[in-house]
């Protein structure tokens, strides 16, 4: 009866919302939306477990829990599996399909837990003195791999725990460094490394107390910092071996992208063996074929270049012979999975403003598109079943099931409808992709979006959004930080261009921005805005503001000096102001050195050629400057330099600083403040 009343109540709420007057998407809508992720199919492909992240505005944080759908049901209905103040994340099925493993800090620290698939309470699998950052369960179910942050010179975990506790209690806070990294992303180096361990599992799925180190002899992090995950290591199908990716760089770590794959017995007892010593560039994401005879992994070819194309390499385990699969397919793979029969692999990649799922034939390398428009953020495949998390510019990710013979022309079957009731009265802005002749006469793509309530014959002020990276794409996807629908909901049209340097248009197009930050990209932006204005008469391009973050923030400073009459206002989030200062203060030095042709002391001309600081005298456009004080990628001094240059010249400007945010604004209350401040700045200059 209670469940029936809940269903009736939800239906009434949805009906009431659906009958409300239509409106545009608001900042508060965006911040409160539930978010789906991490789909994981059971071994028999009959069920899919996944995560839903909700937002607790009172606690100013997100909370992630596990849900499951029985795909055998005539009308599959999502079922919530966990409910706790502590999140549950990274679900993984047991080999038999009778349980689901996941990470949670419900015991006070992050540990692995096990939940019976058919009901019951979760039990703790690991009980270690240190928090578990990631895990994988052996295909045989007899061993679990975990990654832990430890002091490598400690003999055991208890030593690392004791030293970490002593550091926190020490009243003297100074720290002496003798090599880089000193800090990375948003965290100061405290001397700990991420190390990969394994522990035995008993018949009840309980882990032993004495982990065996697999990577601790190597001076590197498994998983990598700051964004590495369990995709960087894998068990062999028989559970006897583990292959992991690590950068062993020592003093060169801050300017090296040389990740290698190492093979080691799952139970330890032997030194790791380097499988990719022949490649000085990036090797990562190893996965064995279902029969264990082939090891697949992603590899770049050029050392020091983080945006090189990720190729898919297949290595014969017995002989060690390697071959690149689909060499002629000019796309960079983000992630991939083997199909159950081992005859093909599924991979997602940027592709002309979309992020699609493809099938790659393991023998011939033939590539077949499985999805069309939109963004495949995550996916899993078992037997003949594939489930994807798919989003577009008109809605956040939902889970879909692909047909067994999927193609880009077929529509997948929807499995979830998150936020349907919450957004029932929201009308999204209509969008369209377009192309034009950009720099060098090359075809360049972009998107436009109308305000949610656009009327024929009306013109609308423009928010001109410039993506970061710079090797990235602002395409047909959904974002919780830079989302055109928020501007559409506030009455603005938006234009966003995938300029030279963007991904998904071939590696040569991506390469073309390096050493030319202020050249072809600026030309593309100018021509793109003009082309959009000609093609779409509802765009009032003479009444526009430009906005961008990271490289997009750099471009805002560059526009101030080189396109100073183009916009009525500018929003610059975490943007580069002085290339020389950036060269000596950012943490991942390989990035600035590749983009500018070497170190600053060897090639100062490469940095100064497109340095915004040289054109400050041309600045005149009002600018809102935003900075996260924990951003060690583009440090706060860059924003202060920008704001000082504006203030000293009497240019209308504001500075918004978040002491507790990094390169991204992630806390819900801060996100809402960010958006309202930005929209208020646009309103002030475009809606007078």
Architecture per CATH, 431-686 = 3-Layer(aba) Sandwich (3.40)
Q: How many CB atoms lie within 10 A of CB 118?
A: 7
Task: Quote the pLDDT of residue 408.
Answer: 72
Pairing of strands 443-449, 385-392: unpaired
Instruction: Identify which of 170, 302, 193, 168 has the alpha carbon closest to the alpha carbon of residue 247.
Output: 193
d(CA 337, CA 345): 6
Task: Quote the pLDDT of residue 72.
Answer: 94
The CA-based angle 573-579-582, given to 5 degrees, is 70
Beta bridge partners of 375: 355, 391
Task: Quote the pLDDT of residue 355.
Answer: 98
Instruction: Identify which of 571, 578, 573 has the alpha carbon closest to the alpha carbon of residue 653.
Output: 571
Confidence check: pLDDT of 19 > 80: no
Task: Quote the pLDDT of residue 5.
Answer: 33
Q: State the sign of the Cα–Cα–Cα–Cα dihedral 575, 577, 578, 581.
A: negative
Give pLDDT tens digits for 121-131.
999 999 999 99
d(CA 199, CA 195): 13
Average pLDDT of the residues in 476-500: 98
Place of tokens 């022949």: 278
Sketch the domain layout of the chain as residue ranges.
431-686
- The kind and range of the H/E element at 315 are strand 311-316
Confidence check: pLDDT of 24 > 80: yes
Q: Are 51 and 66 in contact (CB under 8 A)?
A: yes
The token pair at 446 is: 């972009």
Q: Mapping DSSP to helix (H, G, I), strand (E, B) and coil, where does residue 585 land?
A: helix
Confidence check: pLDDT of 119 > 90: no
Average pLDDT of the residues in 93-100: 96
- The kind and range of the H/E element at 188 are strand 187-188
Give pLDDT tens digits for 427-478.
999 999 999 999 999 999 999 999 999 999 999 999 999 999 999 999 999 9
On average, the pLDDT of the chain sits at 96
Pairing of strands 367-369, 375-382: unpaired
Q: Are 475 and 447 in contact (CB under 8 A)?
A: yes
The token pair at 471 is: 């090797």
% of the chain beyond a pLDDT of 70: 97
Place of tokens 């990470």: 103
d(CA 619, CA 572): 14
Give pLDDT tens digits for 142-198.
999 999 999 999 999 999 999 999 999 999 999 999 999 999 999 999 999 999 999
Place of tokens 């029985």: 70
Q: Are 104 and 89 in contact (CB under 8 A)?
A: yes
Confidence check: pLDDT of 3 > 80: no
Q: Respond yes or no on whether the N-terminal peptide bond of residue 181 is cis (omega within 30° of 0).
A: yes
Average pLDDT of the residues in 245-269: 96
Task: Quote the pLDDT of residue 429.
Answer: 98
Distant-in-sequence, close-in-space partners of 226: CB < 8 Å, separation ≥ 6: 184, 185, 186, 187
One DSSP character per residue, 474-542 reads --S---SSS-HHHHHHTT-EEEEEE-TT-SSS-HHHHHTTTT-TTSHHHHHHHHHHHHHHHH-TTEEEE
Confidence of residue 632 (pLDDT cuts 50, 70, 90): very high
Instruction: Identify which of 335, 411, 426, 327 has the alpha carbon closest to the alpha carbon of residue 373.
Output: 411
Confidence check: pLDDT of 12 > 60: no
Confidence of residue 224 (pLDDT cuts 50, 70, 90): very high
d(CA 254, CA 220): 12
Distant-in-sequence, close-in-space partners of 682: CB < 8 Å, separation ≥ 6: 461, 463, 487, 490, 492, 545, 569, 571
Confidence of residue 11 (pLDDT cuts 50, 70, 90): very low
Pairing of strands 283-288, 111-116: unpaired
The token pair at 373 is: 């428009």
Confidence of residue 506 (pLDDT cuts 50, 70, 90): very high
Q: Residue 588's Cα: distance from chain center in Å? A: 17
Task: Quote the pLDDT of residue 8.
Answer: 35
d(CA 603, CA 610): 13
| Per-residue H/E/C for 2-32 | HHHHHHHHHHHHHHHHHCCCCECCCHHHHHH
Give pLDDT tens digits for 29-48.
999 999 999 999 999 999 99
One DSSP character per residue, 344-374 reads EEEEEEEETTEEEEEEEETTT--EEE---SS
Confidence check: pLDDT of 489 > 80: yes
Average pLDDT of the residues in 200-218: 95
Task: Quote the pLDDT of residue 7.
Answer: 38
One DSSP character per residue, 105-158 reads -TTSS-EEEEEETTS---EES---SS-EEEEEE-TTSSEEEEEEEE-TT-SSHH
The token pair at 298 is: 């992603």
Give pLDDT tens digits for 557-584.
999 999 999 999 999 999 999 999 999 9
Task: Quote the pLDDT of residue 251.
Answer: 94
Confidence of residue 407 (pLDDT cuts 50, 70, 90): confident
Quick one: 549 exposed, middle or buried, by C-beta within 10 A (0-12, 13-18, 19+)?
buried
């Amino acid at each position: 009866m209670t469940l029936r009343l809940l269903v009736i109540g939800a239906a009434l709420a949805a009906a009431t919302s659906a009958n409300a007057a239509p409106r545009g998407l608001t900042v508060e809508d965006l911040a409160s939306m539930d978010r789906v992720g991490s789909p994981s199919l059971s071994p028999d492909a009959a069920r899919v477990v996944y995560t839903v992240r909700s937002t607790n505005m009172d606690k100013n944080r997100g909370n992630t829990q596990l849900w499951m759908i029985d795909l055998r049901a005539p009308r599959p209905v999502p079922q919530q599996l966990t409910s706790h103040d502590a999140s549950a994340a990274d679900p993984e099925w047991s080999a038999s399909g009778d349980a689901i493993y996941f990470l949670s800090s419900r015991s006070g620290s992050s540990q692995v837990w096990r939940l019976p698939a058919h009901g019951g309470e979760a039990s703790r699998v690991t009980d270690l003195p240190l928090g578990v950052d990631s895990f994988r369960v052996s295909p045989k179910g007899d061993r679990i791999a975990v990654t832990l942050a430890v002091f490598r010179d400690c003999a055991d975990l208890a030593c690392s725990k004791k030293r970490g506790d002593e550091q926190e209690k020490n009243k003297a806070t100074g720290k002496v460094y003798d090599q880089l990294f000193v800090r990375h992303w948003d965290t100061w180096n405290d001397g700990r490394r991420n190390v990969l361990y394994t522990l035995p599992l008993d018949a009840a799925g309980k882990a032993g107390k004495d982990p065996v180190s697999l990577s601790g002899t190597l001076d590197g992090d498994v998983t990598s910092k700051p964004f590495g995950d369990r995709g960087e290591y894998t068990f062999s199908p028989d559970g006897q071996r583990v292959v992991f990716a690590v950068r062993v760089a020592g003093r060169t770590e801050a300017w090296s992208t040389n990740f290698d794959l190492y093979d080691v017995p799952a139970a330890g007892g032997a030194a790791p063996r380097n499988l990719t010593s022949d490649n000085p560039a990036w090797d990562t994401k190893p996965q064995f074929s279902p029969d264990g005879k082939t090891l697949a992994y992603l590899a770049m070819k050029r050392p020091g270049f983080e945006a090189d194309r990720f190729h898919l390499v297949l290595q014969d385990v017995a002989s060690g012979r390697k071959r690149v699969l689909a060499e002629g397919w000019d796309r960079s793979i983000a992630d991939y999975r083997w199909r159950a029969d081992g005859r093909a692999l599924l991979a997602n990649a940027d592709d002309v403003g979309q992020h699609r799922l493809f099938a790659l034939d393991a023998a011939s390398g033939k590539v077949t598109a499985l999805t069309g428009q939109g963004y495949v953020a995550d996916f899993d495949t078992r037997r003949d079943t594939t489930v994807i998390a798919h989003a577009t510019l008109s809605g956040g990710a939902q889970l879909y099931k692909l047909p067994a013979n999927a193609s880009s022309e077929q529509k997948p079957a929807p499995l979830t409808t998150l936020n349907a009731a919450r957004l029932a009265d929201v009308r999204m802005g209509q969008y369209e992709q377009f192309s034009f002749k950009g720099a060098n006469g090359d075809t360049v793509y972009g998107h436009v979006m109308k305000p949610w309530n656009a009327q024929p014959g009306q013109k609308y002020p423009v928010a001109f959004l410039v993506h970061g990276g710079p090797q990235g794409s602002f395409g047909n996807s959904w974002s919780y930080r830079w989302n055109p629908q928020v501007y559409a909901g506030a009455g603005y049209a938006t234009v966003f261009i995938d300029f030279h340097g963007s991904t998904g248009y071939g590696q040569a197009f991506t390469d073309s921005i390096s050493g030319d930050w202020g050249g072809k990209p600026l030309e593309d932006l100018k021509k793109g805005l003009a082309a959009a204005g000609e093609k779409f008469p509802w765009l009032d391009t003479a009444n526009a503001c430009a906005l961008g973050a990271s490289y997009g923030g750099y471009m805002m400073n560059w526009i101030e000096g080189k396109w100073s009459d183009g916009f009525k206002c500018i929003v610059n989030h975490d943007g580069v102001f002085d290339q020389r200062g950036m060269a000596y203060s950012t943490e991942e030095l390989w990035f600035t050195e590749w983009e500018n042709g070497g170190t600053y002391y060897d090639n100062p001309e490469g940095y100064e050629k497109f340095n915004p600081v040289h054109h400050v005298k041309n600045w005149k456009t009002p600018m809102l400057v935003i900075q996260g004080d924990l951003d060690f990628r583009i440090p706060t001094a860059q924003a202060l330099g920008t704001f000082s240059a504006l203030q000293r010249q009497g240019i209308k400007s504001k500075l918004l600083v978040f002491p507790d945010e990094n390169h991204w604004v992630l806390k819900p209350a801060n996100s809402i403040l960010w958006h309202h401040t930005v929209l208020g700045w646009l309103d002030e200059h475009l809606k007078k």
